[in-house]
Structure 1
Amino acid sequence: MNYSLPSKLDYQTAQETIQKFEKRESEIKHLNNILGSLLKSFQLTQFKINKKNKEVIFSGVIDNKLVIGQSKCKERDVFEAVIGKVIAVKRALKQDTKEIEKFVESLPEIKYFNLDLSKISSVRHTSTGATDLYSNVYIKDKK
């Protein structure tokens, strides 16, 4: 059996990942506490969670009045039910949600490039003989 020990960089990267995970777990626990505090003032509560549409709808009765709040992720946001619940409840109570919204994680943005294919020449692999635009791309000189 042949194996190698992780490098110092591998170890540091793993430690950073663990720290990020623990920080996120702490944030989620904090948000759960906020949610619990908010819900104490309601006589009745109901959440409708739609993970596919990344949406939470809250309805609750407070002081014999029905209030409704909604939260919906933006396209690149990562859905987290607890965050959606807190935002929906705060919106039902007409409270500011900016402090909660900072906990929303977004996926990295994908950048697209427009390439003028007339300026790209294909390359023939020496090992396989196949022509591939994606292996080694050379831009033709501008004339």
Structure 2
Amino acid sequence: MDLPSFLWLWRIAAWSMGLSLTAYVLLGITGGWMFATRTQKKPRPKGLRLAHLILGGTLVTLVLLLLTIGIVGTLGYYGNLGHSAHLPAGLVVVALVLVSVVSGLRIHAKRPDMRRLHVATNVLLFVAFAAVSWTGWSVVQKYLP
């Protein structure tokens, strides 16, 4: 396919990645705030958990959108996948986001292991986002003239 016909797809991907990173940072802030209120035995502000859940759902949606754009764009441009380390890095991000969601939704006082898994997954997600950003930048350089 012609590269100019893909520019709209890459714009959506760039915005989605920026919004994903923003959602991740906001999730860290709201998660840290919930942790602080829990450890300091203070009342949690109303809507904080709901905001955290909405941000998490937004992150999942954006990451799945990025996966779809990556697959469609790469198949459309090259005809196959696997041209860089960006695909495995992206798949790791998708997997970690899904593990984070499942573990986050299972957090309960009777299951403290889920909280630890959720936090550990999100620490790893920081590294994975860095890797996918780095490899994504190199992919973008291939498409630019």
Q: Which has the higher helix share?
A: 2
TM-score by length of structure 1 reads 0.30
TM-score by length of structure 2 reads 0.29
Q: Which has the higher strand share?
A: 1
Task: Answer with 1 or 2: which has the greater Rg.
Answer: 1
The one of the two structures with greater contact order (alpha-carbon pairs below 8 A, sep at least 6) is: 2
